[in-house]
């Protein structure tokens, strides 16, 4: 279905005239491309990897949006119309759910970067081809390719800057990354629809590991992954004009090119995965913020926002601090000793940041459902948690009923056997299984349990 | 008069399904564009979107392609074969077999691969290496970005070292084989 032929559309005279008048740019003559590796088969190999990998990145990205609880208007960007997954309550089990989905989103997104670049390298001659189009169909397809390439590079760039806290772009990350994703999704789906048949035929055009044709038919073909450099030849000329018309000598075999890209992906993966691991392995994320522990001891695991940055003053979290619990028309105020005197529950739960890093710690404190019971709400529809933090996008969060009622959902007072540090939310913070870290509110000031009747 | 479908194909340049896929893609993009247009920073987003594609196609690609050409040229001038492979002009359907002495290993890929790897690491982890976003970094982590440049340099040195040692080993092995063949 793709536009692969050199057939000229309507109005023929115009397209021909365009073809006859190339601008005086040397690169537009197709014979400048030398690599003997370029061709439909290699492009299809990289394409197939992306065809499997990118949908995973897309889905985990959309799940991230769902995990924020868009039903409470607290997913960003707020207004997305019908451009979202169907609404559902984000589960609390398995407790590593968000750790895995968001870790996969960021890690796989990074691991695929070399494949994206290799895929672009393999088709780049087409960008400089003259005429740029021979029909309306080609004009449209080229425009959609701008959306495809711009889309993936935009998502990669904004994502990478976000996880490294360098907001160089000067626009809202959420809005840009979310809507950019949809533009990319639209172009990606269209591209796959148009090119899938070509991808399949190109993959079949040369054997990868063994020649499926029965011997004796013709001269056996050497499988591509068993072909060394000395036997590497250009692919036969193709209708897509990917194969060089005047190829140079190969400097690398096709399997070498695949191994190189795979190796680069492994390298990026090895330098990224550490931010999702605990213990000694964390340090392997050598070049990422979350490869470093901020300290040692019970509170020595990464934080997302320091107390200083949140504007928390020491006197606010000292003796003066009180927790206000509301619900069902009742109000209870508790100080920290009162909270410590209530039934304490300990849970070993991961905290996973939307930026892809995560860590598992042992938290203890009061169950959220016990606090709800304190104000006589046994069946909360939701709970609103507010922080002492005055400004800041995440100084409050609304929890779903399942998140309040889960037996491991805590207002944590201690971590790993010690009091929370100020940076980890002292005097008290929320910790809920599989909830994005930014919604595990720190420096909690009040909690309102809402019943169905409150709406 | 021709049938409608071939006529459509001839005029449009592809199948009706192609047109449907394109219309669907642009409809969704158009909807997003209308939604984004209300943002004060819409212009910047567009700039980064188009800029990302342009930066890849007209800056990044030309840079790495020319760097590679320069490298190959330099190796050729210094008397190294730029490749272990064979020119397609010398058209052998299969490689020459036993009895053939292997050609002298080329240093090309031993330079290219670590260079590519370190360049990629630089691009991906650039904010830390160049200490961008110091304030937000500090607010989020309570730390500075001090170690990254040195770490990146150390990784770069390791990559080149491993690659260089490997090249030497290949060179020595080749000398031995070559010597015994003589
Ligand atoms: C094809 C590429 C990609 C697509 C389609 C995509 C899509 C998405 C979507 C839909 C979201 C949810 C946004 C929201 O909740 O507002 C998201 C979140 C995110 N993505 Fe991506 N993404 C891609 C690549 C990347 C890459 C390469 C990285 C990083 C290295 C990345 C990092 C992030 C981060 C950190 C978030 C969390 C944002 C937050 O909720 O704070 N993404 N992505």
3-state secondary structure A213-238: CCCCCCCCCCCHHHCCHHHCCCCCCC
B60 lies in the same domain as B88:
no
Distance from CA of A375 to the nearest CA of B (A): 35
* CA A26 to chain centroid: 39
Give a yes or no: residue A302 inside a domain. no
Are A271 and B148 within 8 A, CB to CB? no
Mutate which: A190, A232, A236, A306, vs B, most B CBs within 10 A: A190
d(CA A294, CA A248): 52
B18 lies in the same domain as B106:
no
Rounded to the nearest angstrom, the distance between the alpha carbon of B43 and the centre of ligand 1 is 21
A77 lies in the same domain as A165:
yes
Which among B10, B121, B141 has CB closest to A302? B141
* Interchain contact, A289 vs B85, CB within 8 Å: no
Report helix, strand or coil for B50. helix
* Residue A39 in tokens: 């061709």
pLDDT tens, residue order, chain A (455 aa): 444 457 788 888 999 999 888 888 766 766 788 999 999 999 999 999 999 999 999 999 999 999 999 999 999 999 999 999 999 999 999 999 999 999 999 999 999 999 999 999 999 999 888 888 999 999 999 999 999 999 999 999 999 999 999 999 999 999 999 999 999 999 999 999 999 999 999 999 999 988 776 655 666 788 999 999 999 999 999 988 899 999 999 999 999 999 999 999 999 999 999 999 998 999 999 999 999 888 889 999 999 999 999 999 999 999 999 999 999 999 999 999 999 999 999 999 999 999 999 999 999 999 999 999 999 999 999 999 999 999 888 999 999 999 999 999 999 999 999 999 999 999 999 999 999 999 999 999 999 999 986 64
DSSP B55: I
Give A179's contacts (C-beta < 8 A, 6+ positions apart).
Answer: A77, A80, A83, B32, B35, B36
d(CA A307, CA A318): 13
The residue to which tokens 């490298």 are assigned: B71
Instruction: State how beta strands A323-327 and A444-450 pair.
Output: parallel
Give a yes or no: residue A400 inside a domain. yes
* CA triple A268-A93-A50, angle to 5 deg: 30
Give a yes or no: residue A304 inside a domain. no
Report helix, strand or coil for A91. coil
d(CA A195, CA A377): 56
B5 lies in the same domain as B62:
no
Indicate the residue among A270, A304, A322 that finishes a domain: A270
Indicate the residue among A249, A270, A291 that finishes a domain: A270
CA distances from B170 to A143, A310, A446, B71, B174 (A): 48, 57, 68, 20, 6
pLDDT at A214: 60
* CA triple B18-A85-A80, angle to 5 deg: 85
pLDDT at B41: 96
d(CA A402, CA A91): 7
- Adjacent-strand bridge partners of A348: A362
A323 lies in the same domain as A250:
no
For the sheet with A323-327, list strands across it.
A330-334, A323-327, A444-450, A382-387, A396-400
B104 lies in the same domain as B14:
no
Give start and end residues of each alpha helix (H) in chain B: 4-12, 16-37, 42-54, 61-77, 108-124, 126-129, 134-141, 147-181
A237 lies in the same domain as A330:
no
Domain that holds residue B49: 45-79
Mutate to test the pocket of ligand 1, among A90, A153, A155 (most ligand atoms within 8 A of CB): A155
A56 lies in the same domain as A154:
yes
Q: Which residues of chain B have pLDDT under 50?
A: 88-99
Give a yes or no: residue A308 inside a domain. no
DSSP for A347-413, please give it: EEEEEE-TTS-EEEEEEEEEEHHHHHHHTT-SS-SEEEEEES--SSTTSEEEEEHHHHHSTT-EEEE
Give a yes or no: residue A5 inside a domain. no
Give a yes or no: residue A6 inside a domain. no
Which among B94, B113, B133 has CB closest to A166? B133
B75 lies in the same domain as B90:
no
A446 membership: H or E segment, kind and range? strand A444-450
Rounded to the nearest angstrom, the distance between the alpha carbon of A113 and the centre of ligand 1 is 14
d(CA A51, CA A149): 14
* Residue A159 in tokens: 């994502």
Domain that holds residue A342: 314-454
B142 lies in the same domain as B166:
yes
* Interchain contact, A79 vs B108, CB within 8 Å: no
Among chain A residues, CA nearest to B64: A121
Among chain A residues, CA nearest to B93: A231
Give a yes or no: residue A305 inside a domain. no
Give A5's contacts (C-beta < 8 A, 6+ positions apart).
Answer: A239
Nearest Cα residue to A434 out of A64, A155, A37? A64
Mutate to test the pocket of ligand 1, among A72, A159, A163, A184 (most ligand atoms within 8 A of CB): A159
pLDDT per position as a tens digit, B23-63: 999 999 999 999 999 999 999 999 999 999 999 999 999 99
* CA A255 to chain centroid: 29
Q: Is the CB of A354 under 6 A from ligand 1?
A: yes
d(CA B82, CA A252): 11
What total number of domains does chain B contain? 3
**Count of Cβ atoms closer than 10 Å to residue A73 Cβ:** 11
* Residue A408 in tokens: 């491991």
Q: Is the CB of A356 under 6 A from ligand 1?
A: yes
Give the number of residues written for chain A. 455
B123 lies in the same domain as B152:
yes
A338 lies in the same domain as A259:
no
A111 lies in the same domain as A223:
yes
* Interchain contact, B138 vs A309, CB within 8 Å: yes
Rounded to the nearest angstrom, the distance between the alpha carbon of A65 and the centre of ligand 1 is 9
B66 lies in the same domain as B27:
no
CA distances from A182 to A117, A177, A187, A309 (A): 21, 9, 9, 33
Distance from CA of A33 to the nearest CA of B (A): 11
pLDDT at A30: 67
* Interchain contact, B25 vs A186, CB within 8 Å: yes
Are A299 and B139 within 8 A, CB to CB? no
Are A291 and A285 within 8 A, CB to CB? yes
d(CA A277, CA A350): 10
B53 lies in the same domain as B23:
no
Are A416 and A398 within 8 A, CB to CB? no
B95 lies in the same domain as B162:
yes
Give a yes or no: residue A218 inside a domain. yes
What total number of domains does chain A contain? 2
Nearest Cα residue to A429 out of A405, A454, A400, A394? A394
**Count of Cβ atoms closer than 10 Å to residue A196 Cβ:** 14
Q: Does B37 touch chain A (CB under 8 A)?
A: no
Mutate to test the pocket of ligand 1, among A150, A177, A435 (most ligand atoms within 8 A of CB): A177
Q: Whose CA is nearest to atom 20 of ligand 1?
A: A159
Among chain B residues, CA nearest to A284: B151
Nearest Cα residue to B151 out of A322, A280, A285, A193? A285
The residue to which tokens 């899938």 are assigned: A196
pLDDT at A217: 60
pLDDT at B1: 53
Are A111 and A57 within 8 A, CB to CB? no
A171 lies in the same domain as A250:
yes
Q: Is the CB of A180 under 6 A from ligand 1?
A: no
A263 lies in the same domain as A327:
no
Indicate the residue among A200, A235, A270 that finishes a domain: A270
B28 lies in the same domain as B88:
no
Give A211's contacts (C-beta < 8 A, 6+ positions apart).
Answer: A220, A221, A222, A223
**Rg (chain B; Cα; Å):** 27
- Adjacent-strand bridge partners of A350: A360
CA distances from B176 to B106, B107, B179 (A): 16, 18, 5
pLDDT at A294: 83
* Residue A259 in tokens: 């191994």
Rounded to the nearest angstrom, the distance between the alpha carbon of A64 and the centre of ligand 1 is 8
Q: Is the CB of A184 under 6 A from ligand 1?
A: yes
Give the domain CATH number at A433.
3.90.420.10
How many cross-chain Cβ pairs, A to B, lie less than 8 Å apart?
261
A260 lies in the same domain as A326:
no
B2 lies in the same domain as B28:
yes
Report helix, strand or coil for A308. coil
């Amino acid at each position: 279905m793709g536009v692969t032929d050199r057939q000229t559309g309507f109005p023929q005279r115009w397209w021909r005239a365009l073809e006859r008048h190339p601008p005086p740019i040397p690169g537009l003559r197709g014979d400048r491309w030398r690599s003997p590796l370029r061709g439909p088969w290699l492009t299809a190999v990289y394409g197939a990897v992306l065809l499997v990998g990118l949908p995973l990145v897309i889905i985990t990205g959309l799940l991230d949006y769902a995990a924020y609880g868009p039903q409470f208007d607290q997913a960003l960007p707020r207004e997305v119309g019908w451009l979202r997954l169907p609404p559902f309550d984000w589960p609390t089990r398995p407790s590593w759910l968000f750790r895995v989905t968001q870790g996969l989103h960021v890690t796989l997104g990074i691991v695929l970067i070399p494949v994206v670049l290799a895929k672009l390298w393999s088709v780049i001659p087409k960008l400089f081809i003259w005429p740029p189009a021979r029909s309306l169909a080609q004009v449209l397809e080229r425009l959609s390719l701008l959306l495809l390439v711009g889309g993936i590079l935009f998502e990669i760039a904004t994502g990478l800057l976000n996880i490294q806290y360098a907001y160089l772009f000067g626009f809202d990350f959420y809005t840009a990354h979310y809507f950019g994703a949809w533009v990319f999704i639209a172009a990606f789906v269209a591209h796959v629809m148009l090119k899938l048949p070509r991808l399949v035929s190109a993959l079949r055009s040369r054997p990868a590991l063994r020649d499926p044709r029965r011997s004796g038919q013709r001269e056996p073909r050497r499988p591509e992954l068993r072909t060394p450099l000395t036997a590497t030849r250009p692919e036969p000329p193709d209708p897509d004009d990917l194969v060089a018309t005047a190829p140079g000598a190969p400097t690398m075999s096709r399997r070498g090119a695949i191994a190189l890209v795979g190796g680069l992906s492994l390298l990026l993966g090895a330098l990224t995965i550490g931010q999702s691991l605990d213990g000694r392995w964390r340090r392997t994320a050598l070049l990422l913020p979350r490869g470093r522990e901020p300290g040692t001891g019970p509170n020595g695991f990464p934080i997302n926002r320091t107390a200083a940055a949140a504007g928390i003053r020491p006197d606010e979290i000292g003796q003066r601090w009180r927790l206000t619990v509301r619900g069902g028309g009742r109000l209870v105020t508790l100080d920290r000793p009162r909270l410590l005197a209530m039934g304490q529950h300990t849970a070993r739960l991961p905290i996973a940041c939307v930026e892809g890093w995560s860590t598992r710690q042992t938290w203890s404190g009061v169950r959220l459902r016990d606090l709800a019971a304190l104000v006589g709400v046994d069946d909360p529809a939701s709970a609103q948690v507010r922080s002492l933090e005055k400004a800041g996008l995440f100084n409050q969060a609304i929890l779903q009923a399942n998140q309040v009622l889960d037996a491991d959902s805590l207002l944590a007072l201690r971590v790993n056997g010690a009091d929370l540090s100020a940076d980890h939310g002292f005097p008290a913070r929320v910790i809920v299984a599989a909830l994005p870290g930014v919604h595990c509110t720190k420096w909690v000031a009040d909690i309102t349990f809402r019943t169905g009747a409150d709406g | 008069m021709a049938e409608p479908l071939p006529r459509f194909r001839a005029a449009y340049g592809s199948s009706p399904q192609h047109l449907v896929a394109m219309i669907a893609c642009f409809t969704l993009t158009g909807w997003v564009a209308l939604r984004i247009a209300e943002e004060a920073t819409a212009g910047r987003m567009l700039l980064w979107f188009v800029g990302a594609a342009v930066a890849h196609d007209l800056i990044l690609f030309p840079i790495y392609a020319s760097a590679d050409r320069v490298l190959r040229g330099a190796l050729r001038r210094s008397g190294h074969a730029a490749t272990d492979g064979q020119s397609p002009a010398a058209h052998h359907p299969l490689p020459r077999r036993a009895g053939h002495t292997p050609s002298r290993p080329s240093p090309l890929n031993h330079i290219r691969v670590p260079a590519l790897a370190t360049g990629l690491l630089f691009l991906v982890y650039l904010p830390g290496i160049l200490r961008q976003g110091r304030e937000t970094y500090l607010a989020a982590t309570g730390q500075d970005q001090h170690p990254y440049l040195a770490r990146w340099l150390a990784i770069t040195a390791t990559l080149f070292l491993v690659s260089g040692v490997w090249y030497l080993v290949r060179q020595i092995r080749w000398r031995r084989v070559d010597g015994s063949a003589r």
